[in-house]
A and B are shown apart, each in its own frame.
Chain A
Amino acid sequence: MSLNYYLILSALLFFIGVFGVIRRKNLLMLFFSTEIMLNAVNIGFVAISKYYNDLGGQMFAFFIIAVAASEVAIGLGLLILWYKKSGSLNLDDLAKMRG
């Protein structure tokens, strides 16, 4: 297996994430999409780190996982609160900051 396969996988996953961020209207789905994007990047990091025999990339992947986990923890809390408040998680109902 060459590095390219991993990188292609990472890119594909990332674009799936981007597409989700653009298309999806549900906030929960948006969270999933961001997670996909983050993990796509993780795959890239780990693959390149293995390729160059440098542990830096893998450590970075761990950091990203940690940050993503805390982000999800806080984000889900906020989402629940939001759902209790408004009864919907649709993004278009969320436009409270119109300029």
Chain B
Amino acid sequence: MENFLYIALFSPLIATLFSALFAFSKPLKFIGFLNSTLILISMISSFYLFSYIYENDFAIEIFLFDWITIGNLDLSFSFNLDHVSVVMLLVVTIVSTMVHFYSIWYMEDDIGFNRFFSYLSLFVFSMLVLILADNFAVLFIGWEGVGVCSYLLIGFYYKKIKASKASNEAFIVNRIGDMGLMIAMFLIYWNIGSLNFDIVFKTISYLDNFTVLLIGISLFVAAMGKSAQFPLHTWLANAMEGPTPVSALIHAATMVTAGVYLIIRCNEIYFLIPNLSFIIACLGSFVAIFAASMALVNNDLKRIIAYSTLSQLGYMFAAVGVGAYSIALFHLFTHAFFKSALFLGAGNVMHATNGNLDIRKMGNLYPKMKATAIIMIISSLALSAIFPLAGFFSKDKILESVYNQNYLILYITLVITAFLTAFYSFRLIMRVFFVKANYDEKNSNIHEAKSLAIFSILPLLFLTIISGWSSKYFEEFVTRLLPAFTINLNHEQIWILILIASFTSIFGILFAILKYKNSQTKEENIGIIKNILLKEYFIPKIYKAFIVKPYYRFSVLLNRYIEIKLIDNTIDKIGYFVYNLGAKLRPIQSGNLSTSLRLMIFGLLSALLFIIVLLVY
């Protein structure tokens, strides 16, 4: 059984290394197929592992080798597959398999085809390391690996200055989160003396409250960085500079889900600090509505979807905050499928319009791209939580659990967010596919994606449609490990909640359809509120003015006074001293033998004197 885990974990790495060999040669299609097949193998073994764990109810542990053994620190490179990580394993491998196959089509004209696949597989591998780790140190490797890969992939078109800046931003902002994780690791090791999950979670309840709170906060900062929660959210929308399959992977399976996964994994810690959990729930709800509001007015196809991810991550954190870990994981599970389908659909659109992303310059694509349109409509319906689709079940559960805890304000916020989600999702659909076209229809070359692309989205679409129904089994499966969350509501209340949520979503969709049905894409005058939303609440500007610029000025000062005047000067002085000493001693090397002999004898005598002095004292 361990062998299957090895296969699942290491076949992406093999794919990476193999395609890295061809990184500088010209695009080879077979690299794409080989990588995709290796990830597919990983997916198949994940299914097998899942069935094994489902039947035997038994976590698989594998020990690779001792890693760091110094003093009391004993870290081993070992992995653990339990009920939570197997779910993540499934999500990651399914989504990344589809994304890989899709990328063969999407990247076929790109010069960096092989390089792209190398990065993409490494991304999957890092994420697998992250979710399978059985101690914080191995998790940290995966955590950093994901960060590096996101940097490489967001900046994949490195000749574009914007892409390069976006990748830098993603990397630097994530660094803050990584700092949080490191502090948490230090605190844990300091107080417990081990980084192993089992030992840490068993002994954490013996620590005093303040330490646990500190650990909880640091871990949450880490999660905030990776999952792009409020103060650290700016990178997520800018990360859209990367190729579209990467966006699908980042938003559905890797990277942003890592934060949620970390908190779910550490649920024992958060169980001890309910106040922090409440703050997490509040922040989650806030991010949900905050991101949704920005998505309302944005005109960039991919950015809208990015904000919707941010908003859905907010939902997940809200669920985590109220203690409904299994429900948060379920939302992560379903969200992965419809969000990746949505992104890949957007990739089709982008491909068809030659990279145009402005939804104001689209419209009436439906007759030409029926398959893509249907894919995007179904996944948007799932995103807006419409009944038989996956999003409905998970989102509804989150709303119920928040209501169950009597956090009425949070509940209302999330319901409003649901309305906004439905509205902006269908604003996007209407603008792209149905309103009157706003481009030169005759000269443009709008075409449907190749069948390879469509077929690789179909499994995701299929899962989007059916995965919601597994709600009950899913809950039963993961609560064997995670604490169960009981909803103390009677049948009527649940029905009322479901109806409220569904009607708000349907109302949002209808509102969007009615608003954009006859809309002419004329230049709209931008109101104050719209302007604020378009500028993302001026947060990037504030960051620039209050953090980036002062820091830049500070660095300039440091350069001018410390670097040049102090450090450079000191180093130069040392150099000059040695040089001058050499110049002074140059006459010794006169080449005259008798001078040398004299010096030799002088040296001999002084050595003798020295020895005598040493002997006397």
In the complex, whether B491 has a CB less than 8 A from a CB of chain A is no
Q: Is the CB of A99 within 8 A of B591?
A: yes
In the complex, whether A11 has a CB less than 8 A from a CB of chain B is no
Q: Is the CB of A91 within 8 A of B594?
A: yes
Q: Is the CB of A25 within 8 A of B594?
A: yes
A34 to chain B, nearest CB (A): 10
A84 to chain B, nearest CB (A): 19
| Contact A94-B590, Cβ < 8 Å, known A21-B597, A22-B598 | no
Contacts of A24-48 to chain B: CB distance below 8 A: 24-25, 30
Q: Is the CB of B591 within 8 A of A21?
A: no
| Contact A98-B591, Cβ < 8 Å, known A18-B601, A22-B601 | yes
In the complex, whether B443 has a CB less than 8 A from a CB of chain A is no
- Complex alpha-carbon distance, A22 and B604, angstroms: 13
- Complex alpha-carbon distance, A97 and B593, angstroms: 9
Q: Which of A18, A24, A30, A94 interacts with B592 by CB under 8 Å?
A: A94
Residue numbers in B under 8 Å from A91 (CB-CB): 592-594
Q: Is the CB of B597 within 8 A of A22?
A: yes
Residue numbers in B under 8 Å from A22 (CB-CB): 594, 597-598, 601
- Complex alpha-carbon distance, A97 and B595, angstroms: 12
In the complex, whether A95 has a CB less than 8 A from a CB of chain B is yes
Contacts of A82-99 to chain B: CB distance below 8 A: 91-92, 94-99
Interface residue tally for chain B (C-beta within 8 Å): 11
In the complex, whether B486 has a CB less than 8 A from a CB of chain A is no
- Complex alpha-carbon distance, A30 and B592, angstroms: 14
- Complex alpha-carbon distance, A96 and B594, angstroms: 13
Contacts of A56-99 to chain B: CB distance below 8 A: 91-92, 94-99
- Complex alpha-carbon distance, A33 and B313, angstroms: 94
Contacts of B571-617 to chain A: CB distance below 8 A: 586, 588-594, 597-598, 601
Q: Which residue of B lies closest to A33 (CB)?
A: B597
Contacts of B106-146 to chain A: CB distance below 8 A: none
Residue numbers in A under 8 Å from B601 (CB-CB): 18, 21-22
Residue numbers in A under 8 Å from B588 (CB-CB): 99
- Complex alpha-carbon distance, A55 and B590, angstroms: 44
Q: Is the CB of A95 within 8 A of B592?
A: yes
B491 to chain A, nearest CB (A): 101
Q: Which residue of A lies closest to B594 (CB)?
A: A91
- Complex alpha-carbon distance, A95 and B601, angstroms: 19
- Complex alpha-carbon distance, A91 and B591, angstroms: 10
Q: Is the CB of A96 within 8 A of B593?
A: no
Residue numbers in B under 8 Å from A98 (CB-CB): 589-591
- Complex alpha-carbon distance, A95 and B594, angstroms: 10
Residue numbers in A under 8 Å from B590 (CB-CB): 95, 98-99
A38 to chain B, nearest CB (A): 15
Q: Which residue of B lies closest to A22 (CB)?
A: B598
Contacts of A8-23 to chain B: CB distance below 8 A: 18, 21-22
- Complex alpha-carbon distance, A21 and B594, angstroms: 8
Q: Is the CB of A94 within 8 A of B598?
A: no
Residue numbers in A under 8 Å from B598 (CB-CB): 22
Q: From B588, B591, B593, B594, name the one whose CB has the most chain A CB atoms within 10 angstroms.
A: B594
Q: Which residue of B lies closest to A98 (CB)?
A: B591
Q: Which residue of A lies closest to B587 (CB)?
A: A99
Q: Is the CB of A97 within 8 A of B594?
A: no
| Contact A99-B593, Cβ < 8 Å, known A21-B601, A22-B601 | no
Contacts of B537-594 to chain A: CB distance below 8 A: 586, 588-594
Q: Is the CB of B589 within 8 A of A92?
A: no
Q: Which residue of A lies closest to B585 (CB)?
A: A99
Q: Is the CB of A92 within 8 A of B591?
A: no
- Complex alpha-carbon distance, A92 and B426, angstroms: 100
- Complex alpha-carbon distance, A63 and B586, angstroms: 38
B257 to chain A, nearest CB (A): 69
Q: Is the CB of A92 within 8 A of B597?
A: no
Q: Is the CB of A97 within 8 A of B597?
A: no
Residue numbers in B under 8 Å from A96 (CB-CB): 591
Q: Is the CB of A94 within 8 A of B593?
A: yes
Residue numbers in B under 8 Å from A92 (CB-CB): 592, 594
- Complex alpha-carbon distance, A30 and B594, angstroms: 9
Q: Is the CB of B589 within 8 A of A99?
A: yes
A19 to chain B, nearest CB (A): 10
Q: Which residue of B lies closest to A99 (CB)?
A: B589
Q: Which residue of A lies closest to B604 (CB)?
A: A18
A78 to chain B, nearest CB (A): 13
Residue numbers in A under 8 Å from B592 (CB-CB): 91-92, 94-95
Residue numbers in B under 8 Å from A94 (CB-CB): 591-593
- Complex alpha-carbon distance, A98 and B589, angstroms: 6
Residue numbers in A under 8 Å from B591 (CB-CB): 94-99
B53 to chain A, nearest CB (A): 77
Q: Which residue of A lies closest to B582 (CB)?
A: A99
A62 to chain B, nearest CB (A): 25
- Complex alpha-carbon distance, A95 and B595, angstroms: 10
What per-residue 1/0 map shows which CB atoms of B436-475 lie under 8 Å from chain A? 0000000000000000000000000000000000000000
- Complex alpha-carbon distance, A95 and B597, angstroms: 13
Q: Which residue of A lies closest to B593 (CB)?
A: A91
Q: Which residue of A lies closest to B598 (CB)?
A: A22
A7 to chain B, nearest CB (A): 16
B329 to chain A, nearest CB (A): 76
- Complex alpha-carbon distance, A82 and B444, angstroms: 93
- Complex alpha-carbon distance, A99 and B587, angstroms: 8
- Complex alpha-carbon distance, A99 and B588, angstroms: 8
A95 to chain B, nearest CB (A): 4
Q: Which residue of A lies closest to B605 (CB)?
A: A18
Residue numbers in A under 8 Å from B597 (CB-CB): 21-22, 30
- Complex alpha-carbon distance, A70 and B345, angstroms: 93
What per-residue 1/0 map shows which CB atoms of B373-397 lie under 8 Å from chain A? 0000000000000000000000000
Residue numbers in B under 8 Å from A25 (CB-CB): 594
19 contacts between A and B (CB under 8 A): A21-B597, A22-B597, A22-B598, A22-B601, A24-B594, A30-B597, A91-B593, A91-B594, A92-B592, A94-B591, A94-B592, A94-B593, A95-B591, A97-B589, A98-B589, A98-B590, A98-B591, A99-B586, A99-B590
- Beyond the given pairs A95-B590, A99-B589, A99-B591, 16 more chain A to chain B contacts, judged by CB atoms under 8 angstroms and listed by A's residue number, are A18-B601, A22-B598, A24-B594, A25-B594, A91-B592, A91-B594, A94-B593, A95-B591, A95-B593, A96-B591, A97-B589, A98-B590, A98-B591, A99-B586, A99-B588, A99-B590
Lowest 7 A-B CB distances belong to which pairs? Answer: A99-B589, A95-B591, A97-B591, A98-B591, A95-B592, A91-B594, A91-B593
Which A residues lie at the B interface, using CB under 8 A?
Answer: 18, 21-22, 24-25, 30, 91-92, 94-99
